[in-house]
Structure 1
Amino acid sequence: MSIILNKVGFHYDDQIIFENVTYTFASKQRYAVIGPSGSGKTTLLQLLQGFITPTSGTIVKKDTRLVTVFQNNQIFPWLTTTEAIALPLKLAGVKKEERHLLVQHLLTELDLENLKNKRPAALSGGQLQRVAIAQGLALNPQFLLLDEPTSSLDSQSKEKIQDLLLSQQQSRQNSLLVVTHDIEEAAFLAETILIVKEHHLLAINNPTFKNNHPNRRESLDFYQFCIALRTEVRK
């Protein structure tokens, strides 16, 4: 279960986004993609998911199920939380009885039980994001891709979603790939940080994962790493 980029290039008309990119996304790993606005972060997700095709090179997905949760994911306003989570399962042809069990499990696991009959208009931003993540997890993807999953949330809600994503990845042992503009979010969620730079991917290992304790956000090592990341992005 891996995604292999082999000399991948992509451009819009005369604008080069990626050029000769070779990289392997391994199973059961946590990745974050950062870089300046317009550098190609979301384009990378679209390439991995297969929504767009490389201009050159190949992307090989070996027995891999991918699901992408895009920024400001819109839940249909007429669906309850339960119906929204069940939708991808229904579209995939999962039988009603199995669908019910899977949805109930997700409602419990993501602390959505008390919101199961509410529609999007009655939910906060953080609650909506949890529903979107539940939708993404419904089909148990081997790779869960997220585009700016916390960008519209306040700091407290943001940390709750980050904790949720990390705990879900650890319990499910899938791969997580998060595109974000937030340096601290990247450092908290990912063991490998990919900086989109000059049409390539610069991979940086996250040393703070060696000390993955509950208060890692508040450690000196964590903030020193964030400063180093920020400096690298600005180069």
Structure 2
Amino acid sequence: MISFSFLGIEKSYSDPSGKNLQVLGPVDLTVESGQFLCLLGPTGCGKTTLLRILSRLESADSGKISMGSGNLGYVFQQGALFPWMTVESNVMFPLKAKGVKSGLCRSRAGEMLRNVGLYEFRRSFPHELSGGMQQRTALARGLVTEPDILLLDEPFASLDTRTGIHLQEMLRKLCRSLSTTVVFVTHNIEEAVYLADRIAVMGHRPGRIVRDETLSLKWPRDRLSSDFTGVLLSFRQTFEELVDQ
């Protein structure tokens, strides 16, 4: 079953001189329900713009988006937690916005906080948490509504390697258990190869998909295996060719 599709998506902005600058397109992409897709590409290739168009935070200049009636979850690069709210209140926020009753909000938020190992910190405020704990809170908030599609914009980019790997494993486990369709933006090749069912590599000037591949790697994945290393090196070569352009 198709979760969503892009057909001929294009986007342009005006630079400071008023000149029109095409940053995206045309982009054609179809994603199956339950698939974990990584959008991989160098900085400035339009990955985040494409994500924002899918989430309706921005509109495309041309093209068509086909998507079912399911709900979306969004996890931003820096978490974007409300600093005046506790961890629990941050996670409850999207449920309250949908009109879910307070008792059920608290119950579902508590369950998700247990899933990410933060239940005992539910009454803490964001500034009292480490960077990794803040991102776990953001992940819990993104998943608490059990979205049909979860969008993540480089959520682990600012974390140390050990914390990032831990959260990658947590994210993959949670999304598989919920059968969530995932679009994960990253410029980290190893992260993409570890997480994804499928990787779409984006070039730039303007942003477009230059390689689209479903991975044959089995689960659980071993980062030290020859199969993993082979896929990693293949995508690294593609990535380096893009950067050199």
What's the TM-score, normalizing by structure 1? Answer: 0.94
Match of 1:10 in 2: 11
Q: Which amino acid aligns with 1:157?
A: T
SS of corresponding position for 1:224: helix
Aligned pair 1:204/2:204, yes or no? no
Q: Which amino acid aligns with 2:26?
A: N
1:71-110 equivalences under 5 Å are 71-110=77-116
Match of 2:162 in 1: 156
Match of 1:20 in 2: 26
Superimposed CA distance per residue, residues 178-233 of structure 1 (whole angstroms, 9 cap, x where no aligned partner): 1011101000110110111253213122222xx212x5122121122111101112
Aligned pair 1:118/2:118, yes or no? no
Q: Distance in 2 between matches of 1:191 and 1:101?
A: 32
Q: Distance in 1 between matches of 2:203 and 2:62?
A: 18
Superimposed CA distance per residue, residues 13-56 of structure 1 (whole angstroms, 9 cap, x where no aligned partner): 32222223221111100010111111101011011111111111
Shift of residue 74 of structure 1? 2.3
Q: Distance in 2 between matches of 1:87 and 1:212?
A: 34
Which has the higher mean CA deviation after the structures are superposed, 193-202 or 130-139? 193-202
Q: Give the conservation status (yes or no) of the 8 Å contact 1:69–1:145.
A: yes
Q: Which amino acid aligns with 2:179?
A: Q
Q: Give the conservation status (yes or no) of the 8 Å contact 1:2–1:64.
A: no
Shift of residue 101 of structure 1? 1.4
Match of 2:72 in 1: 66
Q: 1:146 aligns with which of 146, 152, 155?
A: 152
Aligned residues: 232
- Percent of pairs identical after alignment? 32
Aligned pair 1:167/2:173, yes or no? yes
Q: 2:182 aligns with which of 176, 186, 194?
A: 176
- C-alpha RMSD of the superposition: 1.3
Which segments of 5 or more consecutive residues in structure 1 lack a partner in the other structure?
none
Q: Distance in 1 between matches of 2:35 and 2:178?
A: 11
Shift of residue 113 of structure 1? 1.3
Q: Distance in 1 between matches of 2:212 and 2:203?
A: 10
Which segments of 5 or more consecutive residues in structure 2 lack a partner in the other structure?
15-19
Superimposed CA distance per residue, residues 105-126 of structure 1 (whole angstroms, 9 cap, x where no aligned partner): 1121111112111111111111
Q: Distance in 2 between matches of 1:7 and 1:78?
A: 41
What's the TM-score, normalizing by structure 2? Answer: 0.90
Q: Distance in 1 between matches of 2:193 and 2:9?
A: 26
